[in-house]
Structure 1
Amino acid sequence: MKSIDVIAAILLVIGGLNWALVGLFQFDLVAAIFGGVDTFLARLVYIVVGAAAVWQIAQFKAIQIRWSQTSMN
């Protein structure tokens, strides 16, 4: 399960950086890469990043326990 946590964290960083670009420069990198905010691929990226956020929320306590056990070894 740890690998899915890392993938979710990476996706959240990508989403966070995209939102930073939107907030600072009104530039949506995902939309620019995939041809617009309404394209299938852009929407898929938004959905996957959102699913990663839901995963992190649902697994928050379990992730804390797993990571604290790993750091003790």
Structure 2
Amino acid sequence: MNTIQRIALTLIIIGGINWGLIGLFQFDLVASLFGGQDAALSRVIYTLVGIGALCCLPLLFAPDDEEIRGTERGRNLAYSTEFAEENDPSEFNNDKEN
């Protein structure tokens, strides 16, 4: 994740917190800090949050690290049991006869 994507993600988190406050408490933090919803600075913040969301949109369609590596974290997908030693079935028959 590069610097622009980190900044965009930070702006999206700010916007998400603001929307959470609006939904839960009907309190617009950005508007209260920067002079109301119609204030120029508030509109700049809202615009930056929107641009940040657009910048992070490609992350939604980017492949995961796990898909690139072909393995999953914490799991070993190399199952090599085909070369394991097998017991001779005649050994089991001899045990039953004795």
TM-score range, shorter chain: 0.7 to 0.9
TM-score (norm 2): 0.61
Q: CA RMSD in A?
A: 1.8
Alignment of 1:52 onto 2:78: no
Which ranges in structure 1 are unaligned for 5 or more consecutive residues? none
Name whichever structure is richer in helix by fraction. Answer: 1
**Moved beyond 2 Å, runs of 4+:** none
Higher relative contact order (CA 8 A, sep 6+): 1
TM-score (norm 1): 0.80
Identity %: 47
Which ranges in structure 2 are unaligned for 5 or more consecutive residues? 70-98
* Superposition map of 1:1-73 within 5 A: 2-57=2-57, 59-60=58-59, 61-62=61-62, 64=63, 68=65
Task: From the CA coordinates, give the structure whose radius of gyration is larger.
Answer: 2
